[in-house]
């Protein structure tokens, strides 16, 4: 690791802390609207009212690589959805293609049920590993999506080409699909096939938009500042050669 990597980490950390302090003084600062989250919130409310089920796909990313960040964003979504809909007739169900993420999903749901005081309603089948290779995972998750009681499928995690099978099944069952992945081929497939795709870093905004806490909003603002800083740096460095010959 060189100093510039460290500087980026330090800058990001400082911005998160700065925005979390600033956020306490300005709690009502609005985030820009992302249609996917607006529609997801509406779907969650509707599913609680009409007793339908929400299916959260956490993808096939493990905990050891960079793909884990997308799976953690999916777990944040799972926690927030569970806090709203866990005591409904059809509680949300999570599917994954990785053993470690399955354990974390079970733990996340268990703690949400404990917080809501409905631990007796929790069972391990609410978070399942449906297959341990990309396409076997998708094939195993399809029966949950094609279940007529499922009104929405949220794909938040690491997905590749197999995401297309999951969104196609959601479309077939008449449900709403939202999809985000850190994987580029997964993103392009979700853009074409999901009702509401999350593009690029939008998947990491899940916590901020689903009210997971002020630190998520602070983190999102820090990401925005860093991203714009990188964009400006790229523009400046590409324009610099034009001015080299000037006195």
The residues in 125-154 that bind another protein, with binding defined as CB under 8 A, are: 125, 128-136, 138-140, 143
48 lines the binding site for another protein (CB under 8 A): no
Tokens of 133: 């290779």
204 lines the binding site for another protein (CB under 8 A): yes
CB count in 10 Å sphere of residue 95: 29
107 lines the binding site for another protein (CB under 8 A): yes
- Residue 164 C-beta-side C-alpha neighbours within 13 Å: 7
Near another protein by CB under 8 A: residue from 178, 203, 209, 217: 203
18 lines the binding site for another protein (CB under 8 A): no
The answer to whether residues 179 and 197 touch, using CB atoms and an 8 Å cutoff, is: yes
Cβ proximity to another protein, 216 vs 244, nearer residue: 216
**Segment interacting with another protein, rule: CB under 8 A, options 41-49, 86-94, 157-165, 236-244:** 157-165
34 lines the binding site for another protein (CB under 8 A): no
Dmax (CA) for the chain in angstroms is: 77
Near another protein by CB under 8 A: residue from 32, 120, 192, 236: 192
Question: What is the spatial distance between Cα 95 and Cα 88, in angstroms, rounded to a whole number?
Answer: 19
Question: What is the spatial distance between Cα 63 and Cα 36, in angstroms, rounded to a whole number?
Answer: 26
């Amino acid at each position: 690791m060189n100093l510039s990597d460290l500087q980026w980490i330090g800058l990001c950390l400082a911005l998160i802390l700065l925005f979390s302090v600033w956020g306490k003084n300005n709690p009502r600062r609005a985030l820009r609207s992302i249609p996917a989250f607006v529609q997801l919130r509406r779907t969650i409310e509707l599913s609680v009212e009409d007793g339908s089920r929400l299916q959260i796909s956490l993808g096939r990313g493990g905990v050891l690589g960079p793909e884990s960040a997308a799976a953690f964003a999916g777990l944040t979504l799972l926690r927030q959805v569970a806090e709203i809909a866990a005591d409904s007739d059809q509680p949300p169900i999570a599917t994954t293609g990785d053993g470690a993420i399955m354990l974390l999903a079970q733990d996340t749901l268990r703690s949400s049920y404990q917080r809501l005081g409905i631990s007796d309603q929790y069972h391990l089948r609410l978070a399942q590993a449906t297959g341990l290779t990309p396409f076997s995972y998708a094939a195993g998750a399809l029966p949950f999506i094609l279940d007529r009681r499922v009104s929405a499928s949220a794909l938040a995690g690491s997905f590749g080409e197999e995401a297309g099978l999951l969104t196609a099944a959601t479309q077939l069952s008449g449900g709403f699909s939202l999809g985000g992945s850190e994987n580029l081929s997964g993103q392009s497939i979700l853009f074409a096939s999901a009702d509401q795709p999350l593009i690029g870093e939008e998947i990491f905004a899940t916590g901020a938009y689903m009210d997971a806490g002020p630190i998520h909003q602070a983190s999102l603002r820090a990401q925005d500042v860093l991203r714009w800083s990188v964009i400006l740096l790229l523009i400046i460095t590409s324009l610099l050669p034009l001015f080299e010959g000037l006195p």
